[in-house]
Amino acid sequence: MAWVTGCYLAYLALPIVLLIVGSIGEIWLNTLLPHGLTGRWYLDVWSDGSFRRAFVVSLEVAAATCLVTTLIGLPLAYGIYGAGSRGVRAAGRLIALLPIAVPPLVLGFGFVLVFSSDVLPYLGSLWVLIAGHVVLTLPYIVQTLVADMRHLRLGTLLQAAESLGASGPRRFFDIVVPSLRHSLGSGLVTVAALSIGEFQLSNLVAGFLTRPYPVVLLQAFYGATGFACAATTILLALALLGSVTGSLAARGTGAAGAASA
């Protein structure tokens, strides 16, 4: 069993290892591994203005997406969990899950149609890009939060808080937010990772100055292998950074809520 797990993990890690190896290899042409050792591909990526801008855009979009999905997802999950009617709960879940069922490409076309009109001529703006990412990632955070609310029996905790004298907003900030810090953290890790790696919708709705990293990355594959590997490795590091930041931010929110209680 252990060797099966080992093989599987190796299979998963192999592309990442090859990317890292390729990003520091001098020349890689028709050989199993590259020849020579260099750091110049990273310097080349860094000196390329479009990559630098895309890097910043991706971080901004991921941060904003995390913030907006938290602000919308938490009350939405709370509403779905607390809905008295079973039908309302089912409808809420369905609406929240819809973006997962619809391919990002279809959503992207929808955004193009809506935001390229004269009424809403915002296609290419950062806000439209963020809105697209929010629509795509919201279901993941809502599902995670609703599942955790059920697991924690949040309804009983809220009844307890209410019986102890806590008002609605107080219950939300004293009990709901800190109780859900772990699921919020894991939800935000997913949101950040998805946002940073998102290509299909971003490619359709981003403007020239708001292209996120994955969209710009496509250009790298028309150039040297080392350059493409370095640019992709940076994307991996970016996704990791986004995930860790999202998780830490959620823990910080929860810890602050707990401390104030």
Partner 1 sequence: MTASTLALEDVAFAYPGSGFRIERLDLAVAPGDLVAVIGASGSGKSTVLKLAAGFLAPTRGRIVIDGADVTGAPPRMRDLGVVFQAYALFPHMTALENVAYPLKVRGVAGRREQAMRMLDVVGLAAFAERRPDQLSGGQQQRVALARALVFRPRALLLDEPLSALDAALRGEMRDEIRRLQRQHAIATLHVTHDQEEALSMADRVVVMREGRIEQAGTPRQLYEAPRTRWVASFVGRANLWEGVVRETAAVETPIGLLRANALRLSLGTRVTVLVRPENVRLGAAADGANTFRGRLVRDRFLGATRRYDLEVTGGTIVGETPESNAIDVVHIPPDRVQLIQ
- Number of chain positions touching partner 1 (CB under 8 A): 23
For partner 1, the closer of residues 68 and 166 by Cβ is 166
Minimum distance between the CB of residue 192 and partner 1, rounded to whole angstroms? Answer: 23
257 binds partner 1 (CB under 8 A): yes
Minimum distance between the CB of residue 258 and partner 1, rounded to whole angstroms? Answer: 4
For partner 1, the closer of residues 92 and 257 by Cβ is 257
Among positions 171-190, residues that touch partner 1 (CB under 8 A) are 174-175, 178-179, 181
Place of tokens 């890009």: 129
Among positions 93-112, residues that touch partner 1 (CB under 8 A) are none
Q: Cα(154)–Cα(186) distance, rounded to whole angstroms?
A: 18
Q: How far is CA 33 from CA 10, 219, 225, 230, in A?
A: 17, 23, 12, 15
Binder of partner 1 out of 165, 169, 208, 222 (CB under 8 A): 165
Treating both helix axes as pointing N-terminal to C-terminal, what angle do 49-82 and 181-197 enclose, rounded to 10 degrees? 140
For partner 1, the closer of residues 48 and 174 by Cβ is 174
Binder of partner 1 out of 14, 56, 237, 261 (CB under 8 A): 261
Binder of partner 1 out of 3, 119, 163, 169 (CB under 8 A): 163
Structure token digits, residue 167 = 């008002």
**SS3 assignment, position 103:** coil
Handedness of CA 200, 206, 212, 214 (dihedral sign): positive
Minimum distance between the CB of residue 163 and partner 1, rounded to whole angstroms? Answer: 4
Q: Cα(245)–Cα(257) distance, rounded to whole angstroms?
A: 18
Q: How far is CA 114 from CA 98, 110, 117, in A?
A: 18, 6, 6
Minimum distance between the CB of residue 78 and partner 1, rounded to whole angstroms? Answer: 16
Among positions 139-158, residues that touch partner 1 (CB under 8 A) are 152-153, 156-157
CB atoms within 10 A of CB 260: 9
Q: Cα(18)–Cα(23) distance, rounded to whole angstroms?
A: 8
For partner 1, the closer of residues 94 and 261 by Cβ is 261
DSSP line for 208-221:
GGG--HHHHHHHHT
For partner 1, the closer of residues 173 and 199 by Cβ is 173
**SS3 assignment, position 164:** coil
19 binds partner 1 (CB under 8 A): no
CA-nearest of 114, 75, 73, 78 to 96 is 73
CA-nearest of 136, 149, 129 to 102 is 136
For partner 1, the closer of residues 50 and 159 by Cβ is 159
Minimum distance between the CB of residue 165 and partner 1, rounded to whole angstroms? Answer: 4
Minimum distance between the CB of residue 23 and partner 1, rounded to whole angstroms? Answer: 42
Residue ranges binding partner 1 (CB under 8 A): 152-153, 156-157, 159-167, 170, 174-175, 178-179, 181, 254, 257-258, 261
